[in-house]
A and B are shown apart, each in its own frame.
Chain A
Amino acid sequence: MLRIEGLSKLCGAERYLDDEPLEGPLKGCLWGMTVRSPVSRGRIRDIVYGAGFNWSEFVVVTPDDIPGPNETYLIENDQPVLAPGYVRHMHEPVALIAHADRDLLRRALASIRVQVDPEPPVLDFRVPPRPEQIQRGTDNVIKQLRICKGDVEKVFATAPIIVEGEYETGAQEHVYIENNAMAAWIEDGPAGDVVVVRGSMQCPYYVLNAVKHALKRDETRVRIMQSPTGGGFGGKEDYPSTIALHAALLALKAQKPVKIVYDRSEDMAATTKRHPSLVRHKTAVDRNGRLLAQKIEVILDGGAYVTLSPVVLSRGIIHAAGPYSCDHVLIEGRAMLTNSVPYGAFRGFGAPQTIFAVERHMDRIAQKLGISPLEVRRVNLLKDGQTTSTQQTICGGTDRHALLERALGETDYARLLAQAEEFNREHPYLRRGVGIATVLHGAGFTGNGEVYLNSKVDVAGLPDGRLEVLAASTEMGQGTNTVFTRLAADAADYATDDVLVGMPDTFRVPNSGPTVASRTVMVVGKLIERAISDLAAQLGGGGSPLRGKALKDAIIAWHRVNGGGSLKARATYTPPPNVKFDDKKYIGDAYATFAWGVCVAHVEVDLRTAAVRVLHFTSLQDIGKVINPTLARGQVQGGTVQAIGWALSEELKFKDGGMANNSLTNYIIPTSDDVPPIRVLFHENPYEHGGGGAKGVGELPMDGPAPAILNAVAHATGCDPLAIPLTPERLMPLLEATP
């Protein structure tokens, strides 16, 4: 099945928020812009509006204009909508202005001076804060989590070999090509005026909750609608709540529609990014490389507010031990408050950081023991029946050892290795190497998260017999609408043309949960199938559930009898049987299932420039049943290239705590000429509790490339890189120090 909205996107007809005509609700729309903090921390003394502007023509919003609590509703509500007299990071929103003339508004914005009495910021999460830097509790710790299995210290006391390592990953900017954009306006409703917000977002109900909370309104007086969304990758998970509130506050004050469209430099400077990490490993192994004990410390930079850091940390530590069996594991994680822009969701959500560390560490264990990187993995890869660090018994029938051997066979690994070594003997300044990574990714929300979400999907039978899927899950490029259509058509035995997927609108669709965590096809897809089977059973009147033409005829007949009525069936999430997690002790089934992968990277290093080029890359993935091969392959290829950027070139530079290279000129994401074709192989093992048999695919591709590439660089050059991005500037000194 081809992407439903694909042609519309290809020919430029798809209308993103800033493409919408300024008519209907957007008639008379003003532009909105954000006044931001010029420093990382301090008390606001004054906001000075520049001379030469007639400020009475502008709409100006300050914290005093917020009807409810000045809080962005999320995990801890500690992030203000507009900084109330005190700023905690560079570029933090302080006030809002709006005007019809965008150029005039820009000049007016540039004239505004936010005067702040600075206080000492925390700009390095790795070092303990000084007393004057404490801003949360006694130690700036946002969240601390621990996984304990067995007794690592007892093993360390007698262990024959101990390998230690310290690994670092940098921040990463999402660079969705459509910048954040949001419009708000006021409509009349039966219970009073309604604040309507439409824009680019992943999670309409997150936005709804945030707008309800700060505007002190219930859901009958706030309506959130998604507009076609040009990429998200986690970057439009929580931050759109802030922009929606800003647009809504301006619209309420102006009593006119207001549109906020970030430009690239504002979007890069002000919005969330991937958490930087520092991970320390101490591992006891025997001479064959068997893991006897793993002690892992995970530290994340959380940025200036709590936002999603506790759950990013949670996913990070659960993935930190890798896809390996070990009886004694201690993982301690903490997310630190700093005065950086708040770090947030980004594809993989903490797992790529900790998997980078463990996969580099496995290669370094092999190196220390003089065995191959394959051997250390063959000895330790989880088998069904063995347990993870949270003591979750792995099952499902995927043979991870066979996955590894298949990846080695498909890439002709042994020959690649021999060729690289021969090439390196001959070539004066180029060095080639091969690296692997074996990875896992928990699909869906962590622990009891899916139970708390309690997701719902409606399927409506329309008067003409077609079906409409009503869910809050968003299409942002990953193919939600196409896959939902396929799953619904298969469940109902319908042609795909007879299935509609409604655009998320909180007045129309139930809360199917956020569009995150590789959960959409697996969890929400399954709810669609269940809702259809309920509808079919309901209309079948106790007989066998109706399908195909019989279902369609029954829907048409129902509407004839119940003219004007609404025919809907709703499915609500129920967890698969026997999935239990203790979220206090971090023991049990952290995820209903895991997806598995093997990456093989073949790289070339130029010793003269320290530039690394990926020559070939192969990704083998078990994502359950593949619903749409083109879309699934696209997820893996896109995720891999995003990870190549994170591994090699995407370096955030900071100046006084703010992003200094907030531009695509010097924040370097890969172009088509920087990356090789990404070879994608699937191992199909249907998962019975996933929509169409699928597990998650969105995030797994982000996990393996960075360690596979660095392992390949280590193989190519004999140096020992421990941090990404491995830019030439970072690699050069390592090469110089390598004999």
Chain B
Amino acid sequence: MNSNAAHKPVCAESDAITIAFTLNGKSHTAKVAPGERLLDTLRYGLALTGTKEGCGEGECGACTVLLDGLPANSCLVPAFQVRGRDVRTIESIPAERLGPLLESGATQCGACTPGVVMTAAWIRDHRSELQSFTTRALMAGNLCRCTGYDGIIDGLERWIASESGGRS
């Protein structure tokens, strides 16, 4: 049991749902409450605190994870719905590949950053399919209050250029 588990949502044993899913490439089993958000399962159940809560209503994107490869606001996903699915969190992204975002000033306070990186990783991995969209339009689901977005957009474009075709 991890040390954050005490703050995980609780429910009667008989109501708990056991789910199996893939988390950052590994099979995983978790017991979740019926109304539990995936965000809370990650943060409190599994101590994966890289995923942040910004607004709790799917507007800011700070809690973005990749669900079956697509960006999703984990605050809006009931945890039981990830049964049998593939969940990737910021903890799956190796820090040493994030140099272009560091150099461009993509992070300031850092609270929106993990969500930004998850969306950016998805854009980078699917650039050719997303060609008809600008990076500014694609990043519009991740609110940042510090950078004014230029550091993020420049970093993402450098990241795409430096790893074109690469996948993490």
A binding-site residues for B, Cβ under 8 Å: 2-3, 5-16, 18-19, 21-23, 27-29, 31, 100-103, 174-179, 228-233, 263-265, 476-479, 630-631, 633-634, 636-642, 663-665, 669, 671-675, 677-678
Q: Can you name the residue of chain B whose Cβ is closest to the Cβ of A104?
A: B10
Complex partner residue of A634 from B50, B108, B134, CB under 8 angstroms: B108
* Chain B interface (Cβ < 8 Å from any Cβ of A): 2-7, 9-10, 43, 47, 49-57, 59-60, 62, 89-91, 93-95, 98, 101-114, 117, 134-137, 139-153
B136 touches A638 (CB 8 A): no
- A476 neighbours in B (Cβ, 8 Å): 109
The residue that A641 contacts in the complex, of B43, B112, B149, with Cβ under 8 A, is B149
- Select one of A21, A233, A264 contacting B56, CB under 8 A: A264
The answer to whether A22 touches B4 (Cβ under 8 A) is: yes
Contact at A177–B60, with CB atoms within 8 Å? yes
Find out whether the CB atom of B113 lies under 8 angstroms from the CB atom of A634.
Answer: no
**B102 lies within 8 A of A10 (CB):** yes
Known contacts A177-B109, A476-B109, A664-B60; decide if A634 and B93 are in contact (CB<8 Å).
no
Q: Which 9 pairs of residues, A with B, have the shortest CB-CB distance?
A: A12-B50, A477-B109, A9-B110, A230-B111, A637-B148, A12-B90, A19-B49, A641-B148, A177-B111
Chain A residue contacts of B57, Cβ below 8 A: 264, 663-665
Kindly report which residue of chain A lies nearest to residue B36, judged by CB atoms. Answer: A103
> Given A103-B9, A664-B55, 11 more contacts at CB 8 Å?
A3-B105, A6-B107, A11-B95, A177-B145, A630-B103, A630-B104, A630-B151, A637-B151, A638-B147, A663-B57, A671-B140
Please state if A11 and B98 are interface contacts (CB–CB under 8 Å).
Answer: yes
Q: Are B98 and A634 in contact (CB under 8 A)?
A: no
Do residues B147 and A637 form an inter-chain contact, with CB atoms below 8 A? yes
Q: Judging by beta carbons under 8 Å apart, are B143 and A23 in contact?
A: no
Docked complex Cα distance between A258 and B21 (Å): 33
Min Cβ gap A290→B in Å is: 36
**By the criterion CB–CB under 8 Å, are B60 and A230 in contact?**
no
Smallest Cβ distance from B99 to chain A, in angstroms? 8
| Secondary structure of the A contact surface, majority rule | loop
A176 and B109 form a contact (CB under 8 A): yes
Distance of A7 Cα from B113 Cα, bound (Å): 10
Residue of A nearest to B103 (CB): A2
A663 surroundings in chain B (CB, below 8 A): 55, 57, 59
CB–CB B103/A12 < 8 A: no
Query: Would B3 and A23 count as touching, CB distance under 8 A?
Result: yes
Given contacts A177-B62, A476-B109, contact A13 B95 (CB under 8 A): yes
**For residue A11, which residues in chain B have a CB less than 8 angstroms away from its CB?**
50, 90-91, 93-95, 98, 114, 117
- What are some 11 contacts across the A-B interface (CB < 8 A)? A9-B110, A11-B91, A12-B113, A18-B53, A23-B3, A230-B109, A264-B55, A265-B56, A664-B54, A669-B145, A672-B136
Which residues of A lie under 8 Å from residue B107 when comparing CB positions?
Answer: 3, 6, 9-10
B6 contacts which of A13, A100, A665, A672 (Cβ < 8 Å)? A100
Collect the chain A residues with CB atoms within 8 Å of residue B9's CB. 102-103
> Which residues of chain A have C-beta atoms less than 8 A from B110's C-beta?
5, 8-10, 14, 228, 230, 477
A12-B50, A672-B139 given; A642·B145 CB < 8 A: yes
What residues on B are CB-neighbors of A2 within 8 Å? Answer: 102-103
Bound-state CA distance A2–B43 (Å) is 29
* CB-nearest residue of chain A to B117: A10
Task: Tell me whether A263 and B56 are in contact (CB under 8 A).
Answer: yes
Name, among B110, B117, B139, the residue most crowded by chain A CB atoms within 10 Å (CB to CB).
Answer: B110
Q: Are A637 and B150 in contact (CB under 8 A)?
A: yes
- The smallest beta-carbon distance between B149 and chain A, in angstroms, is 4
A631 is contacted by which of B55, B90, B105, B141 (Cβ under 8 Å)? B105
CA distance A539 to B152 in the complex (A): 45
Q: Are B62 and A7 in contact (CB under 8 A)?
A: no
Nearest Cβ distance between residue B20 and chain A, in whole angstroms?
24
Residues of B within 8 A of A478 (CB): 108, 146
Q: How far is A479 from B109 in the complex, measured between Cα atoms in Å?
A: 9
Q: Is the CB of B10 within 8 A of A101?
A: yes
Do A673 and B136 contact each other (CB < 8 Å), given the known contacts A177-B54, A177-B109, A230-B109? yes
Contact B148 A21 (CB under 8 A): no
Contacts of B148 in A (CB 8 A): 634, 636-642, 675, 678
Instruction: Please give me the residue from chain B that is nearest to A633 by CB atom.
Output: B105
Q: Is the CB of B108 within 8 A of A669?
A: no
Contact B3 A22 (CB under 8 A): yes
Q: With A and B bound together, what is the CA distance between A672 and B152 in angstroms?
A: 9
Q: How far is the CA of A637 from the CA of B108 in the complex (A)?
A: 12
Of all chain B residues, the one with the shortest Cβ separation from A176 is: B145
> When the two chains form their complex, are residues A673 and B98 in contact, meaning their CB atoms are under 8 A apart?
no
Flag if B109 contacts A671 (CB, 8 Å): no
Query: Which has the most chain B C-beta neighbours within 10 Å: A2, A10, A100, A642?
Result: A10
Min CB distance B119 to A, Å, is: 10
Scoring A11, A478, A673 by chain B CB atoms within 10 A of each residue's CB, the highest score goes to A11
Report the Cα distance A638→B143, complex, angstroms: 12
Residues on A with beta carbons closer than 8 Å to the beta carbon of B52: 12, 16, 177-178, 230
CA distance A14 to B153 in the complex (A): 22
Q: Is the CB of B4 within 8 A of A21?
A: yes
Please give, as numbers and ranges, the residues of chain A lying within 8 Å of B137 by CB-CB distance. Answer: 672-673
B48's nearest neighbour on chain A, judged by CB, is A12
Chain B: minimal CB distance from A521 (Å): 15
> Which of B51, B113, B143 makes the CB contact (< 8 A) with A10?
B113
**Chain A residues with Cβ under 8 A from B6's Cβ?**
22, 28-29, 100
